[in-house]
Structure formats: C-alpha cells, structure tokens
Amino acid sequence: MDEEAIPVLYVENASTAVAWYARLGFAEQWEHRFEPGLPAFVEVARGPVRLFLSEHQGDARPGTLIYLRVRDVDAVAAEFGVPPVSAPWAREIELQDPDGNRLRVGTPVH
C-alpha cells in the first residue's frame, strides 16, 4: 500500500458533487451511508489522485482550497470554459465546485 494524503471536501449533495468532479476526470469509487437517508461519504479518484466528498457537517470547511497538478491544464480549462494563466511555476486555472470549494488546477512549466 502506498501512503498518501486524501483531502476531505464538504459537499451538500454528494451526487451533484460527483457529477461535477466527473468533469475533472474523477470517477466515483464508493459511497458509504450509515443508514439510508443519512449523509453520504464518497471517494472519487482520477488515476492515483483521490478525494473524499462528505455530506457530514464538521468533516471539512466549505471554501477549502486544494491544488490539483495535471498533465494537461488546457483540456481541463476547455471543459470548464476558462482561460489558463501563466505563473512562473505552472499554467493554471481556478475553479469553484457547487459547494464553494476552490480548486487550483495547474500544469508545471518545467
């Protein structure tokens, strides 16, 4: 098993969030609820990159910022209709998911 850190993002509606993250290339891996009707906890993955999306209040704060390093920021930018900007370290875009979580997505320039 590889050790890793997995960010947890608060979402109001897991299915809406899973659909939005699918546009970024993430696929749902599993969903857990303690009982039907209770809040969902979902894992999504894009290759080796994983995120936990939680409907549980208190698991994470809305408005969290995560950085996602990708091979082709231009493809992601085209999917979301935003132009990349150049920084000394990467070409980047900034996105906001339906719950206000911010994602800075970039491709390194070196």
CA distance 62 to 57: 10
- The HSE-up count of residue 6 (CA atoms within 13 Å, CB side) is 16
pLDDT in tens, 11-53: 999 999 999 999 999 999 999 999 999 999 999 999 999 999 9
CA distance 103 to 89: 16
Binning pLDDT at 50, 70 and 90, where does residue 4 land?
very high
Lowest mean pLDDT among 1-5, 23-27, 49-53, 68-72: 1-5
pTM here is 0.93
C-beta of residue 106 within 8 angstroms of C-beta of residue 70? yes
